Amino acid sequence: MLALAATPALAKSSGTILLQERCATCHDLKGPAAVTLSALRMRKGPDLFYAGNKYRAGWLVRWLEKPTRIRPAGMFYLDHIKPGPKRDVIDTTTLTPHLALNAGDAVSAAEALMGLKANGKLLGTKPFIPGPSPMGEMTFDKFYGCTACHEIEPEFGGLSGPEVYTAGRRLTPEFMLSFIRDPQAWNPKGLMPNKHVPEANIPKLVNFLIELAKKDWK
């Protein structure tokens, strides 16, 4: 009994150690968010000190085992572009793949990440109830111009921001809602501008992203 009772604590502990040893070089596990551009640019991966409020646990495990690139131009696009014949292009020689974890480590790391719960107050208390997304793509693309920086399908959309066609798989709806409402509350120097989307329209965007992620992209 004693051994069984101790197992979760041990698993969490090993995950936390794993995060510190293998993730902390590139990710901020403690916060707060960068308040200068130079600090922002030093980050080689997304802040993880609020990972437990941002990511879906199941997706984290799968992705840590088989990571794929989510940000076409890397964490900070300026470090990974060069002038092209017509327009700036990604300098793929500067991009490095994310390390992959074995199945056990992926579970441990994801469990530890889900325990990092900073900024919880930004999420509010009401769980998001998914619904239809009428004119979701039009709202996302035409009304708010989000495709300027984000791909809404592979190879369609801007490249400086993370792809959004998988956002609904990766991110909790409550995080998406909060981040669209006030990106600077999460990341004051981040590249995502506040589009001042009316409160009634934010769930439409979130529902669009949830529906979009259900397609068989990859």
Partner 1 sequence: MRGLGIVFIAMAILAGPRAAAETAKNNYNAYCVQCHGLRGNGMGLNTDEMSVQPRDHSDAKSMSGRSDKELFKVIKEGGLAISKSVLMPAWKDVLSDDEINDLVGFLRDVCKCTHGN
The residues of the shown chain that bind partner 1, judged by CB under 8 A, are: 32-33, 35-38, 40-41, 73, 77-78, 81-83, 86-90, 142-145, 147-149, 156-160, 182-185, 188-191, 193-196
Least distance CB 41 / partner 1 (angstroms): 8
Minimum CB distance to partner 1 smaller for 25 or for 38:
38
* Alpha-carbon span 61 to 82, nearest angstrom: 34
- Nearest-approach distance from CB 29 to partner 1, in angstroms: 16
Supply the minimum distance, in Å, between the C-beta of residue 155 and partner 1: 9
Which residues, at least 6 apart from 149, have a Cβ–Cβ distance to it below 8 Å?
Answer: 157, 158, 159, 160, 161, 191, 192
CA 80 to chain centre: 19
Nearer to partner 1, 64 or 75 (CB): 75
Alpha helices in 55-172 (DSSP H): 57-65, 103-114, 136-138, 167-170
Query: Which uninterrupted H or E stretch holds 79?
Result: none
Helix (H, G, I), strand (E, B) or coil at 29: coil
Q: How far apart are CB 141 and partner 1 at their closest, in Å?
A: 9
Nearer to partner 1, 26 or 89 (CB): 89
CB of 85 to partner 1, least distance (A): 10
Q: Is the dihedral of CA 197, 200, 201, 206 positive or negative?
A: positive
Please identify, using beta-carbon distances, which residue of 101 and 180 lies nearer to partner 1: 180
Which CB atom, from 63 or from 140, has the smaller least distance to partner 1? Answer: 140
